[in-house]
Amino acid sequence: EQWNLETSEPFAVMGTVVHSHHSKSINILQNHVIIVHDGKIQHIGMAPSLQELKEVHNISERQIIQLSPSQFIMPGLIDTHIHAPQYPNAGLGYDKTLLEWLETYTFPLEKQYGDLVHAQNVYKHVVRHSLNSGTTTACYFATIHLESSLLLVDLMTELGQRGFVGKVNMNTCQNKGYNEKTEQSVTDTEIFIKNVLQRKNQLVQPIITPRFALSCDSILMKKLGELAKKYNVHIQTHISENLGEIEAVKEIFPDSKHYADVYDKAELLTKKTVLAHGVWLKDEEIKLLVSRGSSVSHCPCSNTNLQSGLCNVRRLLEAGVKVGLGTDVSGGHTPSILDVMHSALDTSIHVFFQHKNIIPLTYHEVFYLATLGGAEALALENEVGNLMPGKQFDALIVDMSSHYLLNSEPETLVQKFVYCGDDRNIISVFVGGKIVKKTKI
Ligand code: GUN
Ligand code: FE
């Protein structure tokens, strides 16, 4: 039965709720209700009678979504690392590893985003595809171009996706003209930050985005560190993804103890910093990240496609690093975090083959990484990540009826969804209480 409600008015969802409170487990709450007011979760508890809903919570019958036994509601997925401009290259160019891949396929593609028509076309599709895959919060790299980076912010706002957009900074590599002068890079970044911060819509925030240590010199990185402090904004970059990259960083920054120290010297490691990959981080670097409160975006699809390596997520988690999942399109071939969850499970078993003392991730842990873990990695855990009162109603309705399960125990539905689900099972997506995807069933 299809519901039809007014999201500007209070509404309720009744049925099975699945979410995480910490890394080891998921909570399954049967016969519960979530009440949404002004886009936020006002209440979660045992499902009351219709009369009680009406009299206590002021919710009329047409403002109720009643989930079926083969459905559940869960927090929206969080993509902590995705390159919007690289969408046309997803699935292509995996005959090369990182540094050659960047030069051959990635920089020539990103250079095209001076063209706003091209940017508009691609960015619309990326955001749409990401939302349809259940990503309610996405942390995007754009390109070095100010105008098209702002366009990505416009499109997220229009289509209703929460998240971050970074105008990319790169002042060192030559790359056939895909780079900037230091002055321009800093000026455009400040214009970008101010423009995004002054908007009334709070859905999208700016994020400072030095591409990686090989594309920014230390002067630029220091200036970006200063901007991050001045505006109290997030920071994202890449770290220790590929062995050739790490060697080059060592050569270019001989005064730094290690890769993480390059960023630390520029004050780029903060509580609001998310570092993509971290495949080859040393113990000392991991300690530094923990002490700074910076997080890692685990991108297993990309780490496999670009032959970067196997990231030992268990090691990061046990050290106390905050970890979220990232699609890393187009190092990753898919904008679906559900696909990345499969890859994270696979990868953790491959790590176990190498190091028998490491326990592979469970699907409960991967569910956490894709939701609350992502929120913590982006320092958004007070806003999103699970369905606790006071948080934004960023949620997915999952329907597993097409899988002909022999029982509809919630635990069965969730495991089946994590291992076998895809965007067709995500029948509705809400961001801040607004419907951004709704499938007729
Ligand atoms: N390191 C620097 N730039 C990139 C990029 O675009 N993708 C990936 N995977 N790694 C990078
Ligand atoms: Fe990346």
- Can you tell me which atom of ligand 1 is nearest the CA of 241? 10
Residue nearest to atom 7 of ligand 1 (CA): 331
DSSP state of 385: S
ipTM (interface predicted TM): 0.99
CA of 427 to the centre of ligand 1 (A): 32
Q: List, chain by chain if needed, residues with CB within 6 Å of any ligand 1 atom.
A: 83, 98, 102, 106, 211-212, 238, 241, 302, 328, 331
Give the number of the ligand closest to the Cα of residue 96: 1
CA of 297 to the centre of ligand 2 (A): 9
- Can you tell me which atom of ligand 1 is nearest the CA of 212? 2
Query: Phi and psi at residue 282, in whole multiples of 5°?
Result: -85, 165
pTM of the model: 0.98
Domains of the chain, earliest start first: 11-75+386-438 (2.30.40.10), 77-377 (3.20.20.140)
Per-residue pLDDT of the chain (441 residues; tens, 9 = 90+): 579 999 999 999 999 999 999 888 899 999 999 999 999 999 999 999 989 999 999 999 999 999 999 999 999 999 999 999 999 999 999 999 999 999 999 999 999 999 999 999 999 999 999 999 999 999 999 999 999 999 999 999 999 999 999 999 999 977 778 999 999 999 999 999 999 999 988 899 999 999 999 999 999 999 999 999 999 999 999 999 999 999 999 999 999 999 999 999 999 999 999 999 999 999 999 999 999 999 999 999 999 999 999 999 999 999 999 999 999 999 999 999 999 999 999 999 999 999 999 999 999 999 999 999 999 999 999 999 999 999 999 999 999 998 888 888 999 999 999 999 999 999 999 999 999 999 987
State which of 262, 308, 328 you would mutate to test the pocket of ligand 1, scoring each by most atoms of that ligand within 8 A of its C-beta: 328
CA of 37 to the centre of ligand 1 (A): 40
CA of 99 to the centre of ligand 1 (A): 8
